[in-house]
Chain A
Amino acid sequence: MQLDAKIPGGPLQDKWDRHRFELKLVNPANKRKYDIIVVGTGLAGGSAAATLAELGYNVKNFCIQDSPRRAHSIAAQGGINAAKNYQNDGDSVWRLFYDTVKGGDFRAREANVHRLAQESTNIIDQCVAQGVPFARDYGGLLSNRSFGGAQVSRTFYARGQTGQQLLLGAYSALSRQIGAGKVKMYPRREMLDLVIVNGKARGIIVRDLVTGKIESHSAHAVVLATGGYGNVFFLSTNAMASNVTAAYRAYKRGAVFANPCFTQIHPTCIPVHGDYQSKLTLMSESLRNDGRVWVPKDPKDKRAPADIPDSDRDYYLERKYPSFGNLVPRDVASRNAKEQCDAGKGVGDTQLAVYLDFADAIRRDGKDLIKSKYGNLFQMYEKITDQNPYETPMMIYPAVHYTMGGLWVDYNLMSSVEGLFVLGEANFSDHGANRLGASALMQGLADGYFVIPYTIGGYLAGESLDEVTDQHPAFTDHTKQAQERIDKLLSIKGKRTADDFHRELGGLMWDNCGMARNDKDLAMAKEKIRALKAEFWENVLIPGADKDFNQSLERAGRVADFLEFAEIMITDALARRESCGGHFNDAFQTEENEALRDDENFCHVSAWEYKGDDQDPEFIKEPLVFENVKLTQRSYK
């Protein structure tokens, strides 16, 4: 297979405008003749479903949760970037574009990223019009903070609940269309397969999670906005239901998967504290604006943090990166925390934590100001850990947070399967090897509000699509396959629960395909995961029945897919003979322990095509061409 990114010609700044002009349009009266399936109701799916319905398409929208408002996007805390330059501090579309490409360690497409930066400003206007209560200054204008390694203030926020407020905005637009009958909403549904007819995506197979019934849904195009796959690590900051199933099923039907090994480990999470633990909690990165990260200089120093004088502390980020200090990008901050803990300087019971200290900020700005900025985060921290961060430093440790990899899409956000579009975290498009803070929300909403409405029209207007209903044999066949898989899972009646397998898989991935990787361990993990997968299919224990509300069965299906998908991540990690962004292979580092890219040989997207269950996927390369930015070694010194 050849991959054509379909990047429009012309100067970077004009590509999107020109492309929008050149895209064919669907006549307004004809839009109602098209059915579009949108899977997912997060920022990407919710905004897409609402906007497509506003345009006149008939939309069917699916989600796992009981309400579209509960998609994982709801949990985003810190904020959303936009190149408004309201602060007059030198921001611009170009700067946001440049920062995003650089932050992604030069492994993203210039044209996509530039479009994202352009659309960012519209997002803010849209959200304000919907009633998103962004933070405001005394004069009533929108307030900004600097975030995640940016040297300008371009992050818009709504307290520590930005994702919630943006999602409620998209959800309200979606609800309006549901009320108007333009969107038919299917909550508590899980997509189990993609249906392709005559080479084009024409529908999906879902399981009704309440009744267990397998349903077929046909359409003229399918949009996946099913989020990221961070839960392959078992413990992550993702919501419990976040999964790879929808994307993975599409992969097995022919959609190629890009850069699966690019995963983001967020530096500021509450450390793991017990083996019963079910998920990790993020402490917003904005905390690094005022908190100082340190460990004791001496590994043997077990004094309480308050008893350790400044001279015995190592503020290692400030020491190593004088110009960015505590604000270095996530991958750099995470790897440094691991390095300190590996050197025995970790703190707390498990010694897998570093301090994030607010004492200086409180002394400087007063407790009230710190409280007004971070009150809800401090409260959350205290609820979970029973410690008061106003009095004693927080303890933090990196955790899996976001997946830059995803289904491959071209400039139109169409996958390698015609008629299958992929938005939001589920695609791979904009963040390269590392995502900057506050850029995922921006991407999800740009994709949903401002990109897909144009590009899907271009596709539909340019195709003559056969009449396909859910009675087509492909639907019957895929329904049967989905049912057989469920029957098989339930018939195993082994001894270990799906969670138990998931936890073991997560441990293997975290230890061997996490923050720092090496060939030997990757290869070893691949073998172990194969064995674990084999054991799963012989020894998993799933209680309950099929035609029922059965959460154990739901989880088992997701774990089964994670077990297969994990192998592709490792295959990808082994194939990328360089370090870049979130992918750090010990063998490729600079003298200063920074990721050492190999632009000569690896300046490309690695895409993987499914070739059968017991075979390695086939590698497909999409070369990346940089015409507007110069590839440099990232330096945050």
Chain B
Amino acid sequence: MTTAKTINLNLKVWRQNGPKDKGRFEEYRASDISTDSSFLEMLDVVNEKLTIEGKEPIAFDHDCREGICGMCGTVINGRPHGPEKGTTLCQLHMRHFSDGDTIAIEPWRARAFKVIKDLVVDRSPLDKLIQTAGYISANAGGCPDGNAVPIPQEIAEKSMDAAACIGCGACVASCPNASAMLFVGAKVSHLGLLPQGKPEAAMRAISMVREMDRLGFGNCGNERECEAECPKEISITNIARLNREFFKASFFSSVM
């Protein structure tokens, strides 16, 4: 490891007791933070101190701390997951901050996501989107041999690019319209690119887009903020593919 040093920071953290509480920023000092620690480990240190002082620690979601589960995520100085490109909050290290910095930490803000407490929000609308049609209908058992249908490597790779979405919701939080188009586009692309996903492709695109409206997500205004902030660098071309699927389906299919 590099020779770590320690830094001191001023935190402005959003505290909110529940969905009905108005919420406010509170200021804390984070002292002697190793630059080798992650952002979440920095919050751990602050929380241990708050606890010992008899105060309530800051609630935040996290689990894998490896950038793959999609559970973590807050807005850091106005940017979802913080300043590093292609990085989840748990993989953001304190070496990217300087001694004396002030850091504002807020929850995802979007009409579809309610605050549960402090930095924790309810992202279940993303699950609902998948429940509508974000799958291939293949019951367990009786599937053809895995090699029965060759899939060109390039297609498999493209599908995998889209499948890398971790469902964190940063795209929604970064979008001025709080749209979930990048998330939906990624799923529609992941499945629709594969031969196995084609039979339901039209239905999938239409159902997911309708459900998105119903759940209170906004429309895509082509602002491209989502792509810039996505920790998995999901490409905005997935939204174009979603739009194509959607229009193709609307014009040529009877599922409308």
Contact = CB atoms under 8 A, between A and B. Distances in A.
A179 B44 contact: no
A479 B144 CA distance: 47
Interface stretch (B60-68, B222-230, B240-248): B60-68
Given A273-B36, A549-B117, A47 B140 contact: yes
B254 interface: no
A457 interface: no
A72 B63 contact: yes
B62 to A, nearest CB: 6
Contacts of A26: none
Interface stretch (B97-105, B152-160, B173-181, B213-221): B152-160
Interface string B1-32: 11110000000000000100000000000000
A158 B160 contact: yes
A278 B117 CA distance: 22
Contact of B139 (A54, A239, A240): A54
A323 interface: no
Instruction: Report which residue of B48, B68, B146, B191 has the largest number of chain A beta carbons within 10 angstroms of its beta carbon.
Output: B146
B130 A175 contact: yes
Contacts of B197: 131
A142 B37 contact: no
Contacts of B54: 543
B71 interface: yes
A126 B143 CA distance: 6
Interface in A494-508: 495, 497, 499-500
Nearest to A127: B146
Contacts of B136: 129-131, 172
Given A133-B194, A158-B160, A175 B135 contact: yes
B124 interface: yes
A383 B44 CA distance: 19
A130 B138 contact: yes
Contacts of B156: 133-136, 140
Nearest to A353: B1
Interface in B108-150: 116-117, 120, 122-124, 126-127, 130-141, 143-147, 150
A384 B87 CA distance: 11
A552 B57 contact: yes
B107 interface: no
A515 to B, nearest CB: 22
Interface in A534-572: 541, 543-544, 548-549, 551-552
Contact of B194 (A131, A276, A543): A131
A133 B163 contact: yes
B199 to A, nearest CB: 11
A623 interface: no
A172 B194 contact: no
Contacts of A380: 66-67, 91
A543 B52 CA distance: 9
A279 interface: yes
Contacts of B196: 128-131
Given A72-B64, A499-B48, A276 B41 contact: yes
A453 B166 CA distance: 29
Contacts of A278: 38, 40-41, 44, 65
Given A66-B124, A141-B150, A168-B163, A161 B130 contact: no
Nearest to A209: B116
B202 to A, nearest CB: 16
Interface string A160-188: 01011100100111011011000001010
A341 to B, nearest CB: 16
Nearest to B118: A549
Given A497-B48, A552-B51, A75 B153 contact: no
B35 to A, nearest CB: 9
Contacts of A133: 156-157, 159-160, 163, 190, 194
A273 B1 contact: yes
A210 B123 CA distance: 13
Contact of B146 (A70, A125, A453): A125
B217 to A, nearest CB: 16
Query: How many B residues are at the interface, by size bracket?
Result: 35 or more
Given A175-B134, A187-B124, A131 B190 contact: yes
A167 to B, nearest CB: 10
A140 B64 contact: no
Contacts of B147: 84, 86, 141-142
Contact of A543 (B56, B124, B127, B139): B56
B63 A70 contact: yes
B151 to A, nearest CB: 5
Contacts of B141: 122, 126, 449-450
Contact of B64 (A75, A131, A277, A383): A75
Contacts of B152: 136, 140
Contacts of A187: 124, 127
B146 A68 contact: no
Interface string B66-97: 11111100000000000000010001010100
B135 A172 contact: yes
A124 B151 CA distance: 15
Contacts of B139: 51, 54, 173
Instruction: Report which residue of B4, B41, B61, B127 has the largest number of chain A beta carbons within 10 angstroms of its beta carbon.
Output: B127
B163 A65 contact: no
Contacts of B52: 495, 497, 541
A574 interface: no
Given A135-B156, A497-B52, A74 B64 contact: yes
A21 interface: no
A50 B10 CA distance: 47
A298 B54 CA distance: 51
Contact of B126 (A67, A348, A383, A544): A67
B151 A453 contact: no
A301 to B, nearest CB: 19
Contacts of B91: 380, 383-384
A349 B41 contact: no
Contacts of A241: 63
Given A69-B167, A383-B91, A281 B41 contact: no
Contacts of B140: 47, 50-51, 54, 126, 173, 449-450, 453
Contacts of B134: 172, 175
B71 A66 contact: yes
A383 B87 contact: yes
Interface string A71-86: 0101100000000101
A544 B194 CA distance: 49
B138 A75 contact: no
A139 B143 contact: no
A74 B146 contact: no
B71 A176 contact: no
24 contacts: A50-B140, A66-B61, A69-B127, A69-B130, A86-B147, A128-B146, A131-B194, A131-B196, A133-B190, A136-B152, A139-B150, A140-B151, A142-B146, A168-B163, A171-B130, A178-B127, A179-B133, A240-B62, A274-B37, A278-B65, A384-B91, A450-B141, A544-B57, A551-B57
Interface of A: 47, 50-51, 54, 65-70, 72, 74-75, 84, 86, 122, 124-131, 133-142, 158-159, 161, 163-165, 168, 171-173, 175-176, 178-179, 185, 187, 210, 239-241, 271, 273-274, 276-279, 281, 348-349, 380, 383-387, 395, 449-450, 453, 495, 497, 499-500, 541, 543-544, 548-549, 551-552
Given A68-B127, A69-B70, A142-B147, 13 more contacts: A70-B70, A74-B70, A131-B197, A133-B159, A133-B160, A140-B151, A140-B152, A161-B68, A165-B160, A175-B127, A240-B64, A273-B4, A387-B2
Interface of B: 1-4, 18, 34, 36-38, 40-41, 44-45, 48, 50-52, 54-57, 59, 61-71, 87, 91, 93, 95, 116-117, 120, 122-124, 126-127, 130-141, 143-147, 150-153, 156-157, 159-160, 163-164, 166-167, 190-191, 194, 196-197
